[in-house]
């Protein structure tokens, strides 16, 4: 081999010296933390400049091309540049290294960019500002947004991130999006964190390299962990998932913004917890109209009146449900009425989209969480609660789920709340409302997601609940029974209307009739009463009927119950035929006439004719005497004897026979007092009091009697009785110029009148007519 010349040897030694210095610089760069290397890009400027000058000198040695090539190969091997290669121009080495660091090797998922905030965003501005202010301060910068699927948690989080950038709380490059929807294990969560934070490590089996990189710089950063319910609820090792979150939370300069389809936050961290509620009606309208306009190519929604409010209320004002429904309506150009009809027929299946998951997918993901799939009690309880549109209270839950012991119910409730499939109002468990959002109710109701066994169980529980709280106004438990039935009225009515006409379950007809009577004493409605009569008739007409007497009795009571509601609704002409039919059927029962019931129906018919006012006293007196005779046929039955006296006393008052009225009603009142029957006592006192005020204009004598009637009405709890006695008492006070005392009555009277759906002016008019 030819030895190089002295000059060439000197040049080689000089180049070797340059390369040795370069190797030292590269080694120092490599040993630095990648996080520093990424965010402090000017840190190695001097070293890179020296490398660039050395490389230029190195290229001048064209005689040593082969030797230089070998030296460069050795240099790359010694520097262990496994993550990046020496670029063609050394002055770009730092930029290429940064590019390499942004794509960690062996990452299980490609890095995802943060989505853009939604353009349509209403009703969350106050919440966005509040959360942004939390993140601005280190000691409140752990925020968790929870709520049912489709409530808009991600939209709020993205809006917060954008607001934080606008207010210079975080630099844009210091906000990191961490989508957790696929992180079904602690290992996958760690790997997604490494990928999204652009951190490279020799191994991803531990969290130490990531924590070290985050801790290297004290510059504040924000981690937005979206859909964190996946690792928290689907993982088999939730403790390790929580440990990852706790390790991140221990870095004070790292702010955390977490969204979860859940009712609870992960433990071990002091969260600023913000449960996300549905949009308010105004924001819901704005969202719907804006999305509809976009889908309709700029055409505005024309029918945006009450029909739109009905649609939005039906889907629960849930943002995802609103946007998907509006997009469907705008695309097809159909009205809210048509969309509401589709919603009732198809449920959440009508809510699908291309750019976002459908409503069904959103709910299905919650249903498939490991914590739910492993609990059969939770799935059963979810099915039960999905059949109760108004939810229920903690104390009533045992009625609807009698097969579950209290401890199993509590465990199932907690599981469902963790998965955000149910919600619970704050306050004591016994009185707090536990409910399922309309979208989940609809999802469960369609495609046979609720088994026949569960449906039958819920219906049987409904009938048992009604019949357990069945009573009449003179029963001492009547008031508490009214309150119990009122707490479940919406649920009961919905379930009763599902009763099939041709094959009702046992006790179904009895429950229908009992609830019809309850409504006639509270807020009358003909919907359930008409259904009760329809089902009772169908059972009675069944050719395979075995108990004819019971079936015939039910038809008679159903007629009477419907007549009572029609009477309360001032539909007197419609009520009369039902009372007449009831009287005839009670007298013609296969097992023998029920005269007491016939007498009560006759009293109802008599009251109706007196209100109509088209018949004179002689025409109605036979009916009044017949009613009394039916009720009093057994003289040993003091209660029904007193009821007969009360009915006839009403007729005497209407006939302007004051002396007979006072004698008859006083006798009835004495019997009712003896029997401790508050409702009938109140009615007797009311009639006596209005007799004094109407016939003799003796308001001073009428007033204490009417006040006593109010007391007895309150004991009973019958709202109609309370209203009329309050109205008459106020009228007496006004006539006696006791205006201040009268003014104290009207607020309560107005409230009660609204409760039973009757305007206050109606009661004022009634009081005037009676006095």
> Is position 732 within any domain?
yes
Cα-Cα end-to-end distance for the chain: 136
For the chain, the domain total comes to 5
pLDDT at 117: 80
Which pTM was predicted?
0.77
Query: Does 150 share its domain with 265?
Result: yes
- Across the range 271-293, mean pLDDT stands at 93
- Across the range 126-134, mean pLDDT stands at 95
Proportion of the chain above pLDDT 90, given as a percent: 60
Q: 344 lies in which domain range?
A: 281-356
Does 97 score more than 60 pLDDT? no
Query: Does 314 share its domain with 244?
Result: no
Here the CATH number for the domain that contains residue 405 is 1.10.10.10
Query: Does 269 share its domain with 291?
Result: no
- Across the range 584-589, mean pLDDT stands at 97
Query: Does 213 share its domain with 264?
Result: yes
Query: Does 440 share its domain with 310?
Result: no
> Is position 400 within any domain?
yes
- Asked whether the beta carbons of 99 and 41 are under 8 A apart, the reply is no
pLDDT at 15: 66
Closest CA to 458 of 388, 511, 364: 388
> Is position 557 within any domain?
no
CA distance 70 to 323: 64
Query: Does 342 share its domain with 366?
Result: no
Tell me what the pLDDT averaged over the chain comes to. 85
Residue 433: CB atoms within 10 Å = 16
> Is position 462 within any domain?
no
Query: Does 131 share its domain with 210?
Result: yes
> Which of 403, 423, 450 is the last residue before a domain boundary?
450
> Is position 616 within any domain?
no
Does 689 score more than 80 pLDDT? yes
Helix (H) or strand (E) holding 256: strand 254-260
Query: Does 73 share its domain with 89?
Result: yes
- Across the range 9-34, mean pLDDT stands at 62
Query: Does 217 share its domain with 259?
Result: yes
At residue 176, φ and ψ (nearest 5 deg) are -120, 125
Token reading at 144 = 């968790």
- Across the range 249-266, mean pLDDT stands at 93
Query: Does 345 share its domain with 420?
Result: no
Query: Does 321 share its domain with 439?
Result: no
- Asked whether the beta carbons of 61 and 68 are under 8 A apart, the reply is yes
> Which of 275, 309, 325 is the last residue before a domain boundary?
275
> Is position 662 within any domain?
no
Strand 423-424 and strand 433-435: the pairing is antiparallel
> Which of 307, 341, 356 is the last residue before a domain boundary?
356
> Is position 668 within any domain?
no
Closest CA to 515 of 492, 547, 483: 492
Rounded (5°) CA angle 691-694-698: 85
DSSP 278-320: PPPHHHHHHHHHHHHHHHTTTPPPS--SHHHHHHHHHTTT-HH
Does 380 score more than 90 pLDDT? yes
Of 148-162, 298-312, 591-605, the least confident:
298-312
Q: Under 8 Å CB-to-CB from 321, ≥6 apart: which residues?
A: 150, 315, 348, 351, 359, 438, 439
Here the CATH number for the domain that contains residue 154 is 3.40.50.300
Q: What is the pLDDT of residues 473-503, one digit of tens each?
A: 999 999 999 999 999 999 999 999 999 998 8
Q: Under 8 Å CB-to-CB from 318, ≥6 apart: which residues?
A: 148, 150, 151, 278, 279, 437, 438, 439
Q: What is the pLDDT of residues 722-771, one digit of tens each?
A: 999 999 999 999 999 999 999 999 999 988 888 887 654 444 434 433 44
Q: Under 8 Å CB-to-CB from 597, ≥6 apart: which residues?
A: 556, 557, 560, 582, 586
Of 86-95, 401-410, 546-555, 623-632, the least confident:
86-95
Q: What is the pLDDT of residues 501-516, one digit of tens each?
A: 988 998 999 999 999 9
pLDDT at 669: 96
* Confidence tier at 41 by pLDDT (50, 70, 90): very low
- Asked whether the beta carbons of 647 and 667 are under 8 A apart, the reply is no
> Is position 478 within any domain?
no
Query: Does 349 share its domain with 313?
Result: yes
């Amino acid at each position: 081999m030819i030895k190089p010349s002295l000059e060439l040897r000197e040049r080689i030694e000089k180049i070797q010296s340059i390369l040795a210095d370069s190797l030292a610089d590269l080694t120092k760069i490599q040993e630095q933390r990648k996080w520093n290397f990424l965010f402090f890009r000017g840190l190695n400027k001097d070293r890179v400049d020296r490398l660039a000058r050395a490389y230029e000198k190195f290229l001048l040695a064209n005689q040593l091309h082969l030797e230089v090539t070998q030296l460069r190969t050795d240099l790359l091997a010694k520097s262990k540049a496994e993550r990046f290669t020496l670029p063609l121009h050394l002055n770009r080495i730092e930029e290429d290294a940064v590019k390499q660091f942004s794509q960690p090797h062996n990452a299980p998922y490609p890095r995802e960019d943060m989505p853009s905030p939604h353009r349509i965003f209403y009703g969350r501005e106050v919440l966005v500002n509040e959360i942004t202010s939390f993140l601005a301060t280190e000691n409140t910068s752990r925020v968790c947004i929870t709520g049912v699927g489709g409530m808009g948690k991600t939209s709020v989080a993205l809006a917060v991130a954008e607001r934080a950038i606008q207010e210079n709380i975080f630099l844009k490059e210091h906000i990191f999006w961490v989508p957790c929807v696929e992180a079904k294990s602690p290992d996958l969560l760690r790997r997604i964190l490494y990928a999204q934070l652009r951190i490279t490590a020799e191994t991803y089996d531990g969290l130490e390299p990531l924590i070290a990189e985050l801790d290297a710089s004290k510059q504040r950063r924000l981690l937005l962990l979206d859909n964190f319910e996946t690792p928290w609820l689907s993982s088999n090792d939730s403790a390790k998932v929580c440990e990852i979150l706790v390790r991140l939370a221990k870095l004070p300069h790292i702010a955390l913004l977490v969204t979860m389809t859940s009712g609870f936050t992960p433990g071990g961290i002091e969260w600023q917890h913000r449960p996300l509620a549905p949009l308010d009606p105004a924001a819901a309208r704005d969202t719907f109209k804006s999305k509809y306009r976009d889908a309709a190519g700029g055409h505005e929604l024309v029918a945006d009146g009450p029909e739109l409010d009905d649609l939005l209320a039906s889907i629960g004002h849930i943002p995802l449900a609103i946007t998907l429904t509006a997009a469907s309506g705008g695309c097809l150009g159909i009205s809210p009425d048509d969309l509401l009809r589709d919603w009732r027929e198809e449920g959440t299946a009508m809510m699908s989209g291309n750019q976002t998951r459908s409503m069904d997918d959103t709910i299905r993901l919650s249903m498939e969480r490991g914590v739910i799939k492993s609990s059969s009690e939770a799935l059963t309880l979810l099915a039960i609660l999905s059949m109760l549109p108004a939810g229920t209270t903690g104390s009533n839950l045992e009625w609807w789920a009698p097969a579950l012991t209290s401890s199993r119910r509590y465990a199932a409730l907690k599981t469902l709340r963790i998965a955000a499939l149910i919600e619970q109002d704050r306050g004591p468990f016994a009185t707090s409302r536990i409910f399922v959002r309309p979208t989940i109710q609809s999802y469960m109701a369609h495609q046979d997601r609720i088994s026949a066994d569960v449906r039958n169980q819920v219906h049987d529980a409904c009938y048992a609940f009604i019949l357990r709280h069945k009573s009449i106004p003179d029963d001492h438990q009547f008031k508490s029974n009214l309150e119990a039935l009122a707490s479940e009225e919406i649920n009961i009515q919905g379930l009763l209307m599902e009763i099939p006409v041709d094959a009702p379950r046992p006790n179904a007809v009895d429950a229908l009739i009992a609830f019809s009577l309850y409504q006639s004493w509270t807020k009358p409605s003909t919907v359930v009463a008409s259904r009760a009569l329809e089902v009772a008739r169908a059972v009675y007409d069944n050719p395979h009927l075995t108990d004819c007497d019971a079936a015939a009795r039910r038809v008679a009571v159903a007629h009477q119950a419907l007549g009572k509601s029609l009477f309360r609704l001032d539909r007197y002409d419609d009520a009369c035929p039902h009372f007449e039919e009831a009287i005839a059927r009670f007298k013609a029962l296969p097992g023998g006439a029920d005269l007491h019931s016939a007498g009560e129906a006759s009293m109802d018919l008599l009251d109706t004719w007196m209100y109509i006012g088209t018949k004179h006293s002689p025409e109605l007196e036979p009916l009044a005497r017949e009613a009394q005779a039916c009720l009093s046929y057994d003289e040993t039955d003091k209660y029904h004897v007193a009821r007969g006296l009360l009915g006839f006393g009403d007729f005497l008052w209407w006939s302007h026979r004051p002396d007979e009225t006072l004698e008859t009603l006083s006798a009835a009142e004495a019997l009712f007092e003896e029997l401790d029957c508050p409702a009938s006592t109140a009615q007797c006192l009311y009639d006596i009091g209005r007799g004094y005020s109407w016939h003799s204009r003796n308001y001073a004598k009428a007033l204490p009697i009417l006040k006593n009637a109010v007391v007895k009405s309150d004991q009973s709890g019958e709202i109609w009785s309370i209203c009329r006695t309050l109205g008459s008492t106020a009228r007496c006070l006004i006539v006696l110029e006791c205006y201040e005392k009268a003014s104290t009555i009207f607020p309560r009277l107005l409230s009660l009148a609204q409760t039973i759906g009757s305007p206050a002016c109606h009661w004022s008019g009634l009081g005037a007519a009676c006095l």
